[in-house]
A and B are shown apart, each in its own frame.
Chain A
Amino acid sequence: MAPTACFNCKEARAVIIRPKNRHKLCRACFIKIFETEVHETIIGTNLFFPGERVAIGASGGKDSTVLAAVLKTLNERYNYGLDLCLLSIDEGIRGYRDDSLETVKRNAVQYDMPLDILGYSELYGWTMDQVVEQVGKKGNCTYCGALDRGAARLGIKHVVTGHNADDVAETVMMNLLRGDLPRLSRGTSIVTSSDASDIKRSKPLKYAYEKEIVLYAHHRQLDYFTTECIYSPEAFRGSARTLIKDLEKIRPSSILDIVKSGEDMAALVPVEVRGAGKSKQSGAEEESAGGCGSQNGRTSGGEMAAMEKQLAENDEAESLETEIKLPNGSRVKANRGPTGKAVKAQTIKHCERCNYISSQRICKACTLLDGLNRNRPKTAIEVGISMEDEEGSSTLMRQMERAQLSAT
């Protein structure tokens, strides 16, 4: 078959079929178009201001590596005047972070950007592995929260993350499946910050397909680290992800179409359920709760079953309710929002401990820490009592408890 000419320049030989719309492009045009689209996103949403200090949340994975490369290119090409630096969080996951951090270190040299690596142990006093050992693989995603805390330490007010269109589409579908209107109203915003937090977090790759990010990284021969996170995805996100992969096979544009739907629906969520109604784009806690992208927010996966149970119980309770009618046929209006549909409100407050935004009195991270610190021995662990032994003995205790319970 004769080589196909590039759809864009009509000259060079097409070597790439664009996943987004199946256009056949040459290497140079693909790279140019990819960068231009990110530029349009940045300009269209007024993402930066000249002279702004911006920390790129770098994990060494493909998304953040491409983000760093593209931002550096665009900053120079269009004179954004940004002061870019790399910020990495060392979660302390054995065999996962060690190698990826090496990649970030090389990236810092390649892109000539300053790099700061902050450890979980520095930020929280715990490594991710220790967290997982204590609480299991459930609800342990605090990565984005850690980025905020890290940036705050460095005095930087804007963190950009490598969340891509696939991640955003997943979040939209997941929140729809979970029936989570407050998050549906926030999850698609390109900037997630609020009056409650000083740190502005944004995702310039929000409209970029994961597959195109991989292609971009490949064709620019970027140095990135390819290992998937070892923790399994939260069940709703997992289900949404499978669905989106199928949709992409049917209609490649559907990832972008879901993002578009998500943006529109976010604007249609009743004000009283949006959370902090006064700030137009609140929700910096979005990614830290319920998981974020391809690497975080992973759990053991019983969420769908748990929610099913909850809904079934609600349903049952409802069927047992008796409608009480007032005499004289007087009709009482139910406590409903202006639309006539009953809705629950969620308010965003500050965590009392760390001042990070949270819908609870104490934020999720601090609650997690509380739980962890309660279990931690007061004295340092001596040689001889290894973590395994401790784990083993607590398992045995649990088994005995269970045996007792079933005996009664």
Chain B
Amino acid sequence: MPAKELNKPCMECKDAEFELTVRKRQLCSFCFKRFVSHKVQSRLSVYRAFGLDGPKHQLLLPVSLGVSSSVLLHILNSDRQYRLGSGRPLGYDFKILVIEPSTIAATGVPFDQNYEALQKNFPMHTITRIPFHSIFDHVPEVEGILQEYAGSKFIDDSTRSNEERLAAFRASISTPTSRTDVDTVLLTRLIVEFAKKSGCESVMWGDSDSRLAAKALAGVAKGRGASLTWQVSDGMSPWGVRFEYPLRDLFKAELLQYESVCAELSDIVIPDQPPSENVLTKNLSIDELMLRYVQNQGAKYPGVMANVARTANKLNPSTSDGAPTCALCASLLGNVKGNSGVTVANQAEDNHSSQFCYGCMRSRPEELC
């Protein structure tokens, strides 16, 4: 075949057949990867040092072995290789943390092979693997907090294994919404604690734009609107570790496309469970409902959904310095400064100690809903 006679050339380089359609443009896989990588790099430009001797920032990349975080890892790694090869300054380096998926989801998906593939493909990085229940070791104070939080529904027995203790705590929470909510809070704490211990100043979360939109909507629905400034926006978390969301300009569908043109990712990524069809709305968790909402609406109105995360990213971080924060999730107790609403006063019937924030109170085991 003649070399340059292309049926449908890539709109960018015009030098290869197009493979993918991205945002109405037909690109070859090379140009597509460059496009995606550019979107990520522009988010991390603050960490780029201007000279070779600039300070090297240390970041933490939690990898769930799902599509998004694996793609993020691939992008960051490719960029690193390129910079090392061309003698450019790195600006930052990152460590990888894997929280064993089997200890998070009850489904118990085997992931050992995926983890091995991860180690094999990214040998230049420090990869650490810890189970979810190691939170009792990494964040020792969580023990008392969980006991206080769950009240009489959970009796902690420190003679049992960490795994059993965490399972007992999680079992005390009755609704899927509250369980997912508290799981997320605990996972975040574990990851933050690990970041601090390993000298990382920031955590890079692998949330796609679609995921951030769902997180923003779910956060609002769970009374956690005030925490969006670090749960959805790039910014300083209450623990003094910065949170970055470098995939915020990319849709989940685009990350799936990226995965499809990266052969080395196929062994690493644990595919998403397809959403089950026959679930009553009332049995879903709020996070799941919002993910579905963003998916459904996103098929028709991708821009509108993307705009949700962008809107949340424009909020100012709360300026209530020194104000008391939640013992569990570190969000602000009570109202944000300037909010004179009385929703909190209306909750007098909850009648619990006030060391937990509004959002965490809602997910408490003793709540009736």
Tell me which of A181, A249, A268 has the highest count of chain B C-beta atoms within 10 A of its own C-beta. Answer: A268
Chain A residues positioned under 8 Å from B285 (CB to CB): 250
Q: Contact at B336–A264, with CB atoms within 8 Å?
A: yes
Partner of B316, one of A172, A308, A312, A339: A339
> Does any Cβ of A come within 8 Å of B314's Cβ?
yes
Q: Contact at B220–A262, with CB atoms within 8 Å?
A: yes
> Does any Cβ of A come within 8 Å of B2's Cβ?
no
Give the distance in Å from the alpha carbon of A15 to the alpha carbon of B359 in the complex. Answer: 30
> Does any Cβ of B come within 8 Å of A346's Cβ?
no
> Does any Cβ of A come within 8 Å of B310's Cβ?
yes
Pick out which of these stretches binds chain A: B63-71, B123-131, B224-232. Answer: B224-232
Q: Contact at A265–B221, with CB atoms within 8 Å?
A: no
A317 to chain B, nearest CB (A): 12
Question: What string of 1s and 0s marks CB contacts (under 8 Å) between A3-36 and chain B?
Answer: 0000000000000000001110000000000000
A47 to chain B, nearest CB (A): 11
> Does any Cβ of A come within 8 Å of B111's Cβ?
no
Chain A residues positioned under 8 Å from B335 (CB to CB): 263-264, 267
> Does any Cβ of A come within 8 Å of B311's Cβ?
yes
Give the distance in Å from the alpha carbon of A89 to the alpha carbon of B362 in the complex. Answer: 40
Q: Contact at B345–A305, with CB atoms within 8 Å?
A: no
Pick out which of these stretches binds chain A: B92-100, B236-244, B267-275, B300-308. Answer: B300-308
Tell whether A260 pairs with B223 under 8 Å between CB atoms, given A40-B346, A250-B289. yes
A261 to chain B, nearest CB (A): 3
Interface size class of B (residues with CB under 8 A): 35 or more
Write the chain A residue with the least CB distance to B35. A319
A348 to chain B, nearest CB (A): 18
Give the distance in Å from the alpha carbon of A298 to the alpha carbon of B168 in the complex. Answer: 50
Q: Contact at A270–B225, with CB atoms within 8 Å?
A: no
Chain A residues positioned under 8 Å from B314 (CB to CB): 181, 269-270, 273, 339, 341, 343
> Does any Cβ of B come within 8 Å of A387's Cβ?
no
Chain B residues positioned under 8 Å from A343 (CB to CB): 314
Within 8 A of B (CB), among A238-260: 239, 243, 246-247, 249-254, 256-260
Give the distance in Å from the alpha carbon of A188 to the alpha carbon of B369 in the complex. Answer: 24
Q: Contact at B303–A45, with CB atoms within 8 Å?
A: no
B233 to chain A, nearest CB (A): 9
> Does any Cβ of A come within 8 Å of B343's Cβ?
yes
Q: Contact at A44–B307, with CB atoms within 8 Å?
A: no
Q: Contact at B286–A247, with CB atoms within 8 Å?
A: yes
Question: What string of 1s and 0s marks CB contacts (under 8 Å) between B285-323 and chain A?
Answer: 110010001000100111110111011111111100000
Tell whether A260 pairs with B343 under 8 Å between CB atoms, given A249-B282, A251-B177, A307-B304. yes
Question: What string of 1s and 0s marks CB contacts (under 8 Å) between B5-31 and chain A?
Answer: 000000000000000000110000000
Give the distance in Å from the alpha carbon of A22 to the alpha carbon of B369 in the complex. Answer: 7
Chain B residues positioned under 8 Å from A262 (CB to CB): 220, 225
A257 to chain B, nearest CB (A): 3
Q: Contact at A259–B281, with CB atoms within 8 Å?
A: no
Give the distance in Å from the alpha carbon of A244 to the alpha carbon of B267 in the complex. Answer: 40
A166 to chain B, nearest CB (A): 13
> Does any Cβ of A come within 8 Å of B3's Cβ?
no
Give the distance in Å from the alpha carbon of A21 to the alpha carbon of B346 in the complex. Answer: 12
Chain B residues positioned under 8 Å from A273 (CB to CB): 314
Q: Contact at A264–B369, with CB atoms within 8 Å?
A: no
Chain B residues positioned under 8 Å from A305 (CB to CB): 300-301
If over half of A's interface residues share one DSSP class (helix, strand or loop), that class is named, otherwise mixed; here it is: helix
Chain A residues positioned under 8 Å from B281 (CB to CB): 246, 249-250
Q: Contact at A176–B220, with CB atoms within 8 Å?
A: yes
Chain A residues positioned under 8 Å from B339 (CB to CB): 263-264, 266-267
Give the distance in Å from the alpha carbon of A252 to the alpha carbon of B177 in the complex. Answer: 12
Task: Give the total of A residues in contact with B, Cβ under 8 Å.
Answer: 58
Give the distance in Å from the alpha carbon of A43 to the alpha carbon of B217 in the complex. Answer: 31
Q: Contact at A263–B341, with CB atoms within 8 Å?
A: yes
Partner of B346, one of A173, A188, A256, A265: A256
Chain B residues positioned under 8 Å from A308 (CB to CB): 300-304
Q: Contact at A267–B306, with CB atoms within 8 Å?
A: no
> Does any Cβ of A come within 8 Å of B358's Cβ?
yes
> Does any Cβ of A come within 8 Å of B338's Cβ?
yes
Chain A residues positioned under 8 Å from B306 (CB to CB): 311
Write the chain A residue with the least CB distance to B315. A268
> Does any Cβ of A come within 8 Å of B185's Cβ?
no
Q: Contact at A207–B303, with CB atoms within 8 Å?
A: no
> Does any Cβ of B come within 8 Å of A112's Cβ?
no
> Does any Cβ of B come within 8 Å of A190's Cβ?
yes
Chain B residues positioned under 8 Å from A261 (CB to CB): 219-226
Give the distance in Å from the alpha carbon of A339 to the alpha carbon of B319 in the complex. Answer: 12
> Does any Cβ of B come within 8 Å of A304's Cβ?
yes
Chain B residues positioned under 8 Å from A207 (CB to CB): 342-343, 346
> Does any Cβ of B come within 8 Å of A41's Cβ?
yes
Q: Contact at A267–B338, with CB atoms within 8 Å?
A: yes
Q: Contact at B315–A243, with CB atoms within 8 Å?
A: no
> Does any Cβ of A come within 8 Å of B344's Cβ?
yes
Partner of A263, one of B175, B303, B307, B343: B343
> Does any Cβ of A come within 8 Å of B216's Cβ?
yes
Write the chain A residue with the least CB distance to B284. A250
> Does any Cβ of B come within 8 Å of A315's Cβ?
yes
Q: Contact at B303–A312, with CB atoms within 8 Å?
A: yes
Within 8 A of B (CB), among A332-383: 339, 341, 343
Write the chain A residue with the least CB distance to B345. A44
Q: Contact at A250–B368, with CB atoms within 8 Å?
A: no
Q: Contact at A243–B293, with CB atoms within 8 Å?
A: yes
> Does any Cβ of B come within 8 Å of A76's Cβ?
no
> Does any Cβ of B come within 8 Å of A401's Cβ?
no
Q: Contact at A176–B346, with CB atoms within 8 Å?
A: no
Write the chain B residue with the least CB distance to A18. B368
Partner of B318, one of A22, A252, A268, A307: A268
> Does any Cβ of A come within 8 Å of B337's Cβ?
yes
Give the distance in Å from the alpha carbon of A377 to the alpha carbon of B107 in the complex. Answer: 71
Partner of A315, one of B23, B220, B318: B23
Write the chain A residue with the least CB distance to B286. A250
- For this complex, 9 residue pairs linking A to B, each with C-beta atoms less than 8 Å apart, are A45-B342, A207-B346, A243-B217, A247-B286, A254-B286, A256-B346, A257-B221, A267-B339, A273-B314
**Extra contacts besides A176-B217, A251-B362 (18): CB < 8 Å:** A22-B369, A40-B346, A45-B340, A173-B217, A247-B221, A249-B281, A250-B284, A256-B223, A258-B223, A259-B341, A268-B226, A269-B314, A269-B316, A304-B300, A304-B301, A307-B304, A315-B303, A316-B23
A-binding residues in B (CB < 8 A): 23-24, 175, 177, 216-217, 219-226, 228-229, 281-282, 284-286, 289, 293, 297, 300-304, 306-308, 310-318, 335-346, 349, 358-359, 362, 367-369
B-binding residues in A (CB < 8 A): 21-23, 37, 40-41, 44-45, 172-173, 176-177, 179-181, 184, 188, 190, 207, 239, 243, 246-247, 249-254, 256-270, 273, 304-305, 307-308, 310-312, 315-316, 319, 339, 341, 343
8 closest A-B pairs by CB: A261-B225, A311-B303, A257-B223, A267-B338, A263-B341, A44-B342, A264-B226, A260-B343
